[in-house]
Amino acid sequence: MKKIHIVGLGLLGGSFALALKKIRPEIKFTGYDINPQNQIDALTLGIIDEAKPEADQDTDIIILATPADTLPLLLEDVLDKIGAETLVMDFGSTKANLCAKIAEHPKRAHYLAGHPIAGTEYSGPKAAKADLLDRKVFIVCEMEKTDLHLKSKAYEVLEALNMKLRFMDPEEHDSQLAFVSHLSHISSFMLGKTVLDKMEDDKNIFDMAGSGFASTVRLAKSSPAMWAPIIKENKKNILEALSMYIANLSKFRDKILADDYDGIFHEMEKINKIRDILDLE
């Protein structure tokens, strides 16, 4: 492993490079970002060694870490130009549309569909952290469609980063992520909006906010440039998740209207079982 090129020098792409540089300092990292300041920051922070728009033909791995709706065309373009021994991986949060788009590409075997389950509410190269990916899950979709020799390059770096591999169907991935990731971000944004709307009438409302509010609304600080494309790409599954969430909110509201506080207690008691699930993570 000698060369890795990263397209998209933000939180995930930057964290990947910082972590691997500590373990494999001999690897040369090049990169590109559509935002010139991100390229400058990535160079200054040591995320990449050189900024360049395209990877060299002898690059081992190209990482695509750009917004979800840019990935289909970007992946196609990159595959058209890569060398014979280059593996292309993406870090996108949606997989079904991307895998379908690239299914018939003559170099499909050069592509590994991936998704690191890691992140924070911050974005850009300055948000990158060398320990962000440590012991995190890395989902691989359509593993069997990637060339065995090229796939070994991905496993080499993922093992070096101490990541835990999980294998999923693209549609299953998008459906499950809609519930455990995408819905939580939308909920956080809408909680933030609700309180901001209330703040127009009550300027002191944030004085009442405690740690519970801060932790619940934390994701509302996430980048719209990242999350609006995810919602676009995973529309069908997100609408299903939202419909179920709204239905549960309506039922809870109805219990309050009916003064059904025993029902509220028992409902929350049942939901408390999620502690047993999360404590196992």
* DSSP per position, the chain: --EEEEE--SHHHHHHHHHHHHH-TTSEEEEE-SSHHHHHHHHHTTS-SEE-SS--TT-SEEEE-S-GGGHHHHHHHHHHH--TT-EEEE--S--HHHHHHTTT-TTGGGEEEEEE----S--SGGG--TTTTTT-EEEEESGGGS-HHHHHHHHHHHHHTTPEEEEE-HHHHHHHHIIIIIHHHHHHHHHHHHHHHHHTT-TTGGGG--HHHHHHHGGGGS-HHHHHHHHHHTHHHHHHHHHHHHHHHHHHHHHHHTT-HHHHHHHHHHHTTHHHHHTT-
Q: Cα 171 vs. chain centroid, distance in angstroms?
A: 16
* Tokens standing for residue 215: 């932790």
What is the rounded CA–CA span in Å between residue 171 and residue 141?
9
Fold held by 3-168: Rossmann fold (3.40.50)
> Is 60 exceeded by the pLDDT of residue 280?
no
- Structural contact between residues 269 and 211, judged by C-beta atoms closer than 8 angstroms: no
User: Mean pLDDT score of the chain, rounded to an integer?
Assistant: 94
pLDDT of residue 206: 66
- The predicted model gives 61-71 an average pLDDT of 97
* pLDDT band of 277, cuts 50, 70, 90: confident
Taking every pair of C-alpha atoms in the chain, what is the biggest distance, in angstroms? 68
> Is 80 exceeded by the pLDDT of residue 149?
yes
Q: What is the pLDDT of residues 91-142, one digit of tens each?
A: 999 999 999 999 999 999 999 999 999 988 889 999 999 999 999 999 999 9
User: Cα–Cα distances in Å, from 122 out to 10, 42, 116, 165?
Assistant: 9, 15, 16, 25
pTM (whole model) above 0.85: yes
The class that CATH gives domain 172-278 is: mainly alpha
136 CB-contact burial (10 Å; exposed 0-12 / middle 13-18 / buried 19+): middle
Nearest-Å Rg of the Cα atoms of the chain is: 21
Q: What is the pLDDT of residues 154-187, one digit of tens each?
A: 999 999 999 999 999 999 999 999 999 999 999 9
User: Cα–Cα distances in Å, from 141 out to 113, 174, 175, 179?
Assistant: 5, 11, 13, 18
Backbone angles phi, psi at 120, to 5 degrees: -140, 180
- Structural contact between residues 48 and 17, judged by C-beta atoms closer than 8 angstroms: yes
pLDDT of residue 1: 83
Q: What is the pLDDT of residues 203-235, one digit of tens each?
A: 666 666 667 777 888 999 999 999 999 999 999
* pLDDT band of 281, cuts 50, 70, 90: very low
Spatial CA neighbour of 175 closest among 119, 121, 244, 222: 244
pLDDT of residue 20: 97
* pLDDT band of 256, cuts 50, 70, 90: very high
Nearest 5°: the CA angle 187, 256, 203 is 55
- The predicted model gives 57-64 an average pLDDT of 97
Q: What is the pLDDT of residues 6-46, one digit of tens each?
A: 999 999 999 999 999 999 999 999 999 999 999 999 999 99
**Per-domain residue ranges of the chain:** 3-168, 172-278
